[in-house]
């Protein structure tokens, strides 16, 4: 299964890329995804995306409960950092 991960803003800096493809079994859950991010990217990336300030969009739809995410083949998961400006 291939899932596209999209990193925006500061998360792109932590990941070292704006997007990545993840090959994993169907039914990959949030905890396994965080473990993958910890293993393959900076540990700070997994800690940051797990925080309440980072939102996630699955196939363009914001997800309220990140812990309930289950990924399937062809999904796109975007990590949205908090926006600041002035």
Residue 23: what pLDDT?
Answer: 87
As averages over each run of 10 residues, the pLDDT of the chain (86 residues) reads: 93 95 87 94 93 96 95 95 72
Q: What is the pTM of this model?
A: 0.90
Q: Which two tokens stand for residue 44?
A: 């700070």
Residue 79 CB neighbour total at 10 angstroms = 22
Q: What is the pLDDT of residue 27?
A: 87
Side by side, the strands of the sheet bearing 55-58 are 19-23, 2-7, 76-80, 55-58, 61-63
27: phi > 0 → left, psi -120 to 50 → alpha, else beta; which?
A: left
Residue 50 is encoded by which pair of tokens? 């797990």
């Amino acid at each position: 299964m291939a899932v596209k991960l999209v990193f925006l803003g500061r998360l792109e800096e932590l990941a070292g890329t704006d997007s990545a493809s993840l090959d994993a079994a169907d039914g990959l859950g949030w905890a396994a995804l965080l473990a993958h991010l910890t293993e393959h990217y900076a540990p700070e990336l997994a800690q940051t995306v797990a925080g309440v300030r980072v939102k996630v969009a699955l196939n363009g739809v914001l997800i309220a409960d990140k812990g309930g995410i289950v990924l399937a083949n062809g999904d796109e998961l975007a990590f949205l950092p908090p926006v600041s400006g002035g």
